[in-house]
Amino acid sequence: MSLFEEAKKVIAGGVNSPARSFGGVGGDPVFFKSGKGAWIKTEDGRDMIDYVGSWGPLILGHSYSPVIEAIKEKINDGLSFGAPTIIETELANKVREFIPSMERVRMVSTGTEATMSAIRLARGYTKRDIIIKFEGCYHGHSDSLLIKAGSGALTHGVPSSPGIPKSLAKETITLPFNDTQRVRDAFTLMKDKIACVIMEPITGNMNMIMPIPGFLEAIKEECTASGAILIFDEVMTGFRVAKGGAQSVFNISPDLTTLGKIIGGGLPAAAFGGRQDIMSYLAPEGPVYQAGTLSGNPIAMLAGLVTLESLEEKDFYKNLHNKCDLLMTGMLKLAKNHDLPLEVNYLGGMFGFTFNKNGPIKNYEDITNSDINLFKDFFHGMLAENIYLAPSAFEAGFISSAHTNKEINLTLDATKKVFSLLQH
Ligand SMILES: *Cc1c(COP(=O)(O)O)cnc(C)c1O
C-alpha cells in the first residue's frame, strides 16, 4: 500500500493541510524525508530541487545550520514555560527594527491566529463590524476570512467554505483586487461601518500578483479618512520580498501587520502588531481578548531570531532577487521559443508564473481564467525531472539563499525539456 493510502486510513484526506495534497494537479502527494539547502530527499529516494520551502518559511534553505545548532543547544533548557522569556523580547525588537510600523508586537503560533486576532482587535478598537477583503487573498482559515479565499481553498474549489454562519459572512465584504474604484465605492456606501481592510499587499495565494500603482495608496487614504484600520497581511511577504516586507517596498505604513512563515524559521511562530494605541486595546492592557498556551515558544522564537539575523547580511535580498530574475527570465525566453504564453512576477525571494493568453494577471478573475491544464502538465513534467514546484496554479514559488546558479540552471534545463513536450 502506498504511503498516501496508509495516511488516508488515519488522517482526514491523508494530509494535515489541504494545500499539501495534489488536489490542484492530480496524483498522490510526494512524501518528504529530509532536506538540505535547496534540495529535498523523498521517501522513495529521489533528490529534488525545492521551490516551495515549506510554503515560505525556509528563506535560508532546509536545515540551515546556524538555526539547527542554536535550537539543539537551547532545547536542553526546556521546551516551553508558558511564562515570559527573554528571547520573546529579543525577537519582538528585531521584528520592530525590520518593520518599524509594528510599534507593539504580539507573538502567536500560526498565521491564521495572527490574522484572526488582528481582525478582532480592529473590530474591538473601532467598535464596527464590517471587514473588507479581496477576492483570492488568503488570510488563514478563521470564519470571517474564509470567504472568497485563495490558496488551498481556491485550489480545492471551496473559496467560501460551508460551516461559516451567514450572519458572519454578511459582515465580510469581498472586492476584486486592483480595482480602486470598487474600494472607493464601498467606503462611500458604508464608511462609518467599516472596521478594517485586510489584504495581502502583494498577493501570493492566487499566484503572485502585484498591486497596480495607486491601489494601495487609495486604500490607505480611504482607511485614514474613515477611521478604518488597514491590515497588511504579510504572513507570506514579510521578510520575503524585502527585509521590511511589502510595506517597505511601497512605502506605505499599515495600522496593523500580520506575520508568519519566515518569522518562525521553520517552527510554528507568527505575530501581529502595529500602532501602539491599537495594540494597547489587547488584553491584559485592554478589553480585546487574545491568548495562547504556546505563544512565544522559546524554541520557535530562537529559530525565528537566528533566521532574521541571517537576513541582515549585505545584499541578501538583492542576491535573492537576482536568482529569481535568472530563473524567471530564463523561463520566459524558453516559453517564447516554444510559443507558450507565460506570464511572470517576482520580487526578492518570491515568484509566480502563469500560462495566460490574455497577458499579465491582475486579479482573481484573470488567474481563474488562465490555462490551469497547461500548468498541471508542466507541474507533472517538472516533478518527473525532480523539480518540486507548488502543486497548484494558484500558489507562489519561493527561492532560498541556498539556491545557487547550479540549481537554477538545472531547473531551466528541465523547463526546456518539459516545454518541448508540452508544445507537442
Ligand atoms: C500562509 C498564510 C496565512 C496563514 O498562515 P498559517 O500559518 O498557515 O495559518 C495567512 N495569510 C497569508 C498571506 C498566508 O500566506
| C-alpha cell recorded at residue 276 | 501602539
Residue 174, CA distances (Å) to 148, 169, 186 in order: 7, 10, 10
The tens place of each residue's pLDDT in the chain, 424 residues long, gives 899 999 999 999 999 999 999 999 999 999 999 999 999 999 999 999 999 999 999 999 999 999 999 999 999 999 999 999 999 999 999 999 999 999 999 999 999 999 999 999 999 999 999 999 999 999 999 988 887 777 777 777 667 788 888 888 889 999 999 999 999 999 999 989 999 999 999 999 999 999 999 999 999 999 999 999 999 999 999 999 999 999 999 999 999 999 999 999 999 999 999 999 999 999 999 999 999 999 999 999 999 999 999 999 999 999 999 999 999 999 999 999 999 999 999 999 999 999 999 999 999 999 999 999 999 999 999 999 999 999 999 999 999 999 999 999 999 999 999 999 997 6
Query: Whole-angstrom Cα distance, residue 267 to residue 277?
Result: 30
| C-alpha cell recorded at residue 245 | 516586507
Determine the distance separating the centroid of ligand 1 and the alpha carbon of 238, expressed in angstroms: 11
223: buried, middle or exposed (CB in 10 Å: 19+, 13-18, 0-12)?
A: buried
Residue nearest to atom 10 of ligand 1 (CA): 139
Determine the distance separating the centroid of ligand 1 and the alpha carbon of 229, expressed in angstroms: 20
Determine the distance separating the centroid of ligand 1 and the alpha carbon of 353, expressed in angstroms: 20
| Ligand 1 neighbourhood includes 344 CB (under 6 angstroms) | no
| Ligand 1 neighbourhood includes 233 CB (under 6 angstroms) | yes
209 within 8 A of 177, measured Cβ to Cβ: yes
| Ligand 1 neighbourhood includes 139 CB (under 6 angstroms) | yes
Residue nearest to atom 11 of ligand 1 (CA): 139
| Ligand 1 neighbourhood includes 138 CB (under 6 angstroms) | yes
Angle in degrees, 0-180, between the axes of helices 298-310 and 65-74, rounded to the nearest 10: 150
Of ligand 1's listed atoms, the one at least distance from the Cα of 137 is 13
Identify whether 233 is a catalytic site residue: yes
pTM above 0.75, yes or no: yes
